[in-house]
């Protein structure tokens, strides 16, 4: 794969998990990286431009893009997992998750698109999940609704700009070993009064491969979609889930 020396990349939620792994990979491949996160202290150690950014704040997004752009690549990684059924979902939960998981991407894409269109090149990668329109997963009512919306937005953007040099794809991971996944295991163990090991085992059993994914494994897919090697790909569904949804 060619190095990404000529690419400027904007990442959201780059402080930990998949976003961090992607930021590290982009840096290693020579890209000019602007790593952002709600908690800027989590960005420490990344050798790139670092900015605090709450993706639910539209003017903050516009400011970062104005000051740090133009960008060739946008990786929309920020997202939150709401645990529960339809009956567990309060209106404020709905608003919080849709603001963070969906509306934020509308704003970031709107912010970067004008300069991408001017230069007739850009690759946008949106973080979805197998828990979406791909697969019905128990206790993921709200999360799946938001991640299915990401798929719709991604395909629509891909269709609108396919002849203008812009590509837009989404990645759909299964379960990945990240700080928030570990926190979900701990929380579920407390809620259900079941030992953490048993909860973790149940997550692991979902993957026929017998393990959960590693953030780097998802990051390599993101790197591919950002690179020119994937130039024939847009509006695509990239499932990466250890065989969970096959």
At 198, list the tokens.
């048993």
Q: E strands along 70-210, which residues?
A: 73-76, 122-127, 166-173
Interacting stretch for ligand NAD, rule CB under 6 A, among 1-9, 32-40, 86-94, 151-159?
32-40
Shortest distance (Å) from residue 161 CB to ligand NAD: 23
Candidates 10, 25, 33, 55; binder of ligand NAD (CB under 6 A) is 55
Does residue 224 have an active-site annotation? no
Residue 54 touches ligand NAD, criterion: CB under 6 A? yes
Binding mask 106-145 for ligand NAD (x = CB under 6 A): ---------------------x-x----------------
Candidates 64, 100, 199, 225; binder of ligand NAD (CB under 6 A) is 100
Residue 211 touches ligand NAD, criterion: CB under 6 A? no
CA 76/CA 225 separation, integer angstroms: 13
Shortest distance (Å) from residue 13 CB to ligand NAD: 3
3-state SS assignment for residue 16:
coil
Closer CB to ligand NAD, 13 or 73, in the complex: 13
**How far are the Cα atoms of 38, 48, 134 from residue 184, in angstroms, in the given order?**
19, 30, 21
Does residue 70 have a cis peptide bond before it, meaning omega lies within 30 degrees of 0? yes
**How far are the Cα atoms of 64, 103, 180, 215 from residue 107, in angstroms, in the given order?**
12, 6, 24, 25
Residues labelled catalytic: 143
């Amino acid at each position: 794969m060619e190095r990404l020396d000529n690419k400027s990349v904007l990442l959201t939620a780059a402080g930990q998990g998949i976003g961090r792994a992607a930021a590290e990979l982009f840096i290693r491949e020579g890209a000019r990286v602007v790593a952002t996160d709600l908690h800027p202290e989590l960005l420490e150690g990344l050798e790139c431009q670092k900015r605090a950014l709450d993706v639910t704040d539209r003017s903050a997004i516009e400011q970062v893009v104005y000051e740090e752009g133009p960008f060739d690549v946008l990786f929309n990684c920020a997202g939150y997992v709401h645990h529960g059924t339809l009956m567990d979902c309060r209106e404020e939960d709905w608003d919080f998750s849709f603001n963070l998981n969906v509306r934020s991407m509308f704003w970031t894409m709107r912010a970067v698109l004008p300069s991408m269109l001017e230069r007739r090149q850009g690759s946008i990668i949106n973080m979805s999940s197998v828990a979406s329109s791909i697969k019905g997963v128990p206790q993921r009512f709200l999360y799946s609704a938001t991640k299915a919306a990401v798929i719709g937005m991604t395909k629509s953007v891909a269709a609108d700009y396919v002849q203008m040099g812009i590509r837009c794809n989404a990645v759909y991971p299964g379960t990945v070993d990240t700080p928030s996944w570990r926190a979900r295991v701990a929380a579920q163990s407390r809620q259900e009064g079941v030992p953490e090991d048993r909860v973790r085992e149940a997550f692991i059993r979902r993957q026929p491969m017998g393990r959960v994914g590693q953030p780097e494994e998802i990051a390599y897919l993101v790197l591919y979609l950002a690179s020119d090697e994937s130039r024939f790909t847009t509006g695509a569904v990239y499932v990466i889930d250890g065989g969970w949804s096959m």
